[in-house]
Each structure stands twice: as structure tokens, then as C-alpha cells.
Amino acid sequence: MIELTEVTKLYPGGVAALGGVSLRIDRGELVAIVGPSGSGKSTMLNVLGTLDRPTSGTVRIDRYDVARLSDSGLSALRATRIGFVFQQFHLASGVRAVDNVADGLLYSGLRASQRRKRAAAALERVGLEHRMDHEPHELSGGERQRVAVARAAAGEPPLLLADEPTGALDTASGAGVMQLFRDLHADGTTVVIITHDRDIAASLPRQVQMRDGRIVAEVRS
């Protein structure tokens, strides 16, 4: 699903956010990429999600060589192959939960009625069938993150990337969201969770540890 070969990312001033990273994640894995602030995790997320192109090296996502894709090709790859979940939810205020999820399918080619039907099914899957008509300000933090997970999963992407998905949640809500990721993984989705929380990382089958823009260790449990 993911193959990075000697990937570097340099920013102005010669700052190396990634310094020759090679990583393979097979289809259907559940992986944590863990490290302290400044370790390169966020840059790794941007590269894995094709939100940012590397300075050098090769990135393949679901067999696609990212360097060979145009901007429109990258957009299509993200729309059909990758789901994103972020710490701050990124839900549209004043918009019902079902429409927040449906809007994530705008570029899927589905008709509006189909998008809403799939959004409703995704919300049922995360246990929010009774909150579909609620707006973000009417939901708890855990519920908002569940909406965000539903939005990411509604298009049934083979790869889901989560950036500090429990960082803004209390312990109980965070545990519930992590269970959703395990459920998606059990259904065949490749899930990569970016986190600084070593306890969360240790609870997953594979942990990739980063520091100073490099992979320094891998642990499998």
C-alpha cells in the first residue's frame, strides 16, 4: 500500500524534515508512526497523503508512483484512495453531521442522494445514527471525531491516515475512536496513525519510531 524509498524533504534554509526515509507498509496493516514534536511525523503524513511532494526519493501509494502524477492525478488519488482524520476534526460549522460526511464525497462522482445515503450508513457505522441532524457545536468532542472518521471512511478508501486523532479528546472518547480504527482495520482498511502518544502506539501491532526526520526503530507486537 505504501512504499517510500530514500525520501527526503528539505525546507528553505536547508532544514531537513525527512532525511532519507525508507518504509514499506503492506495492504491491511495497522501502524503507528510515533515520535516527539519535531521528529518529522507531520511531514511524513503530508508525504504519505500526497499533500506534499518530497525533495528526493520515491513515493508509491497503492502502486502509484506519486512523482509521475499531475496535480489533478494526485487529487484523484486522494479522492479515491486516501481518507484523512485530523486532530481538530475540520468539520464545517452550521452544517449537519450527515452533510459534513456527504460533502467529503463531492468528488466521488456519486449523485447527491447517493452521497447522503452513504454518509448516513457511515454515521451508523460509528454509532451516530441518532446524531445525524446535529451540527458540530451540538456534539461532544468524541462525537465530532466520530463524524470525522465517518467522513474519512464513507468513500471506502483502502488507506486511512489519522493525525493525532485522539489529541483533543478525553481518555474515554479517545479509546472509542481508537476502537473505530481497529474496526476499520479488521474490515481490510490499511490504517496509519501519526501520534506522539507512546501508549497509543504501543497498543498497535506495528510501531515506526521517528526522531530528527529519520526512522530510528520499528517494533512489532
- All structural domains of the chain, each given as residue ranges with its CATH number in brackets, are 28-46+80-220 (3.40.50.300)
> Residues 119-128: what's their mean pLDDT?
93
Q: What is the pLDDT of residue 39?
A: 93
Q: What is the pLDDT of residues 55-91, one digit of tens each?
A: 999 999 999 999 999 999 998 899 889 999 988 899 9
The chain-wide mean pLDDT, for the chain, equals 93
> Residues 99-104: what's their mean pLDDT?
94
Nearest to 202 by CA among 87, 83, 30, 23: 30
Q: What is the pLDDT of residue 146?
A: 93
Q: What is the pLDDT of residue 81?
A: 92
The answer on pLDDT for 124 being more than 90 is yes
With cut-offs at 50, 70 and 90, classify the pLDDT of residue 113. Answer: very high
